Amino acid sequence: MPLIEIKNLSKTYVNEDVETPALRDVSFSVEAGEFMAIMGPSGSGKSTLLHLLGFLDRHTSGEYRFDGKTIDDYSPDEIARLRNKKMGFVFQAFNLLPRTTVLENVKLPLLYSGIKESQWNDLAMQAIESVGLSHRVSHESSQLSGGEKQRVAIARALVNDPLVLFADEPTGNLDSKSGRAIIDILQQLNEKEKRTILLITHETQLAECTKRIILMRDGQIEKDEAVSGQRRAANHFTK
């Protein structure tokens, strides 16, 4: 059973009786352990798709099944718990608390997890170690470089051991060296820990670091193709 399965998913925004279709009959599935990119230019529908996949918005028509259930099978409280426990989110803007340490930032999702507080430090440290930031654990996020801030954001997204990690333009605010480091971390999380990762991007070179690319255009899937190992190895991500 796929982790994510969508069939004929559509989303139309209505403003003062004006209908604007953002997604039109999109269908695909994602197996556990995949590392894939959803890419396309601005206005292609990729951000709308991310919002639907992350239960941040509801579709207009079609079906979305996550971990075997549709959004209609969950109550609002269950959706909130699902997003906290089974989904991790990494955004371009980092969204860290500036005067809070790396450790405290990473522990934030655990406040609502139901996990015993006595375990929080250990879980946060494991996540921080997985992104190579153990030496910065006591630093406030305002003291970190952009690349380090994004590592903290990834650790925070991982701390609840989610089924899927959504990364929305994760290198958008970074220089090429920092961006390459972030992609290396995502690749390692997929290859070594078998993390399921969906990367949202408009950059071809970034998308080619994954194993599968879905190309969006005008709210529809234009192409869905695998990325060969040779193609990934030949790719050197630069901004």
For 32-94, the three-class secondary structure string (H helix, E strand, C coil) is CCCEEEEECCCCCCHHHHHHHHCCCCCCCEEEEEECCEEHHHCCHHHHHHHHHHHEEEEECCC
Angle of the 146-158 helix axis to the 176-193 helix axis, nearest 10: 20
pLDDT at 236: 54
Token readout for 236 is 């050197």
> Tell me, what's the pLDDT at 127?
96
Which domain covers residue 101, as residue numbers?
4-226
pLDDT at 112: 84
Residue 236 lies in a domain: no
Query: Does residue 237 sit within a domain?
Result: no
The count of structural domains within the chain is 1
> So what's the pLDDT on residue 230?
64
Going across the sheet that includes 69-70, the strands are 18-30, 4-15, 61-66, 69-70
- Looking at residue 49, its pLDDT comes to 95
Q: For position 129, which CATH number holds?
A: 3.40.50.300
In a domain, residue 51? The reply is yes
Q: Is residue 238 part of a domain?
A: no
Quickly count: other Cβ atoms within 10 Å of residue 164's Cβ.
21
DSSP character string of 144-201: S-HHHHHHHHHHHHHTT--SEEEEESTTTTS-HHHHHHHHHHHHHHHHHH--EEEEEE
Q: Does residue 239 sit within a domain? A: no
Per-residue buried b or exposed e for 89-111, using 16+ beta carbons within 10 Å of the residue's own CB: bbbbebebeeeebbbbbbbebbe
Question: Would you put residue 201 in left (φ > 0), alpha (ψ -120 to 50) or beta?
Answer: beta
Per-residue pLDDT in tens (0 to 9) along the chain, 239 residues: 899 999 999 999 998 889 999 999 999 999 999 999 999 998 899 999 999 999 999 999 999 999 999 888 888 888 988 999 999 999 999 999 989 999 999 999 999 888 999 999 999 999 999 999 999 999 999 999 999 999 999 999 999 999 999 999 999 889 989 999 999 999 999 999 999 999 999 888 889 999 999 999 999 999 999 998 766 666 655 44
Provide the 10 A C-beta neighbour count for residue 70: 11
Query: For residue 139, what is the DSSP state?
Result: S
Token pair 């153990």: residue: 134
Report pLDDT for 114: 85
Residue 239's pLDDT is 47
User: What φ, ψ does residue 218 adopt, rounded to 5°?
Assistant: 50, 40
Q: Chain centroid to CA 147: how far?
A: 17
Instruction: Output the CA–CA distances (angstroms, integers) from residue 139 to 104, 142, 185, 223, in the order listed.
Output: 10, 8, 21, 43
